[in-house]
Structure 1
Amino acid sequence: MSLSEKTMLGRHLSVIYADDLRQEVDGKITIVGMYQAQMLVPVFPITLPKLAVLMTAVTPADQPFGKLTLQLMKDDEVLQSLDLDLTGQGVVSLAQDQEGAAIMELNFANIISPLQLDGPCQLRARLETEQGPVVGRPLLITKVPSPTAH
Structure 2
Amino acid sequence: MTVEPYGTTIFCDDIRHEINGKLTLVGCYSSEMNFNGPPPGLLPSFAALVNIRIPTALPFKSLKLRVLKEEGDEVSEILAAEVEAEEEKIEDIVGGSQEGEPEERLISMTFPCHWSPLPMANTGFIKVRAYLDGGKEIRLGALKINFASEPDAKD
Aligned equivalents of 1:69, 1:134: Cα separation in 2: 10
Under a length normalisation based on structure 2, what TM-score does the superposition of the two structures give? 0.79
- Say which is worse superposed, 81-90 or 14-23, in terms of deviation: 81-90
2:36 is the counterpart of 1:42 = yes
Cα distance, 1:66 vs structure 2: 1.9
Aligned equivalents of 2:44, 2:93: Cα separation in 1: 32
2:105 is the counterpart of 1:102 = yes
Any gaps of 5 or more consecutive residues in structure 2?
A: none
2:22 is the counterpart of 1:19 = no
Aligned equivalents of 2:93, 2:47: Cα separation in 1: 22
2:60 is the counterpart of 1:59 = no
> Aligned ranges for residues 1-150 of structure 1 at < 5 Å?
6-7=1-2, 10-43=4-37, 44-75=39-70, 76-91=75-90, 101-130=104-133, 132-144=136-148
Change in 2 beyond 3 A, CA 1:89/1:81? farther
Q: Which has the larger radius of gyration?
A: 2
Cα distance, 1:87 vs structure 2: 4.0
May I ask how many residue pairs the two structures share in their alignment? 140
Q: Higher relative CO (CA 8 A, sep ≥ 6), structure 1 or 2?
A: 2
| Preserved contact between residue 64 and residue 104 of structure 1 (Cα < 8 Å) | no
Q: Deviations over 1:43-93 (max 9, x none)?
A: 211111010110011111222442121001002311110012114242286
Counterpart amino acid of residue 52 in structure 1: A
Aligned equivalents of 2:44, 2:61: Cα separation in 1: 35
| Preserved contact between residue 129 and residue 141 of structure 2 (Cα < 8 Å) | no
| Preserved contact between residue 65 and residue 87 of structure 1 (Cα < 8 Å) | no
Under a length normalisation based on structure 1, what TM-score does the superposition of the two structures give? 0.82
| Preserved contact between residue 2 and residue 104 of structure 2 (Cα < 8 Å) | no
Change in 2 beyond 3 A, CA 1:145/1:45? closer
Aligned equivalents of 1:89, 1:58: Cα separation in 2: 19
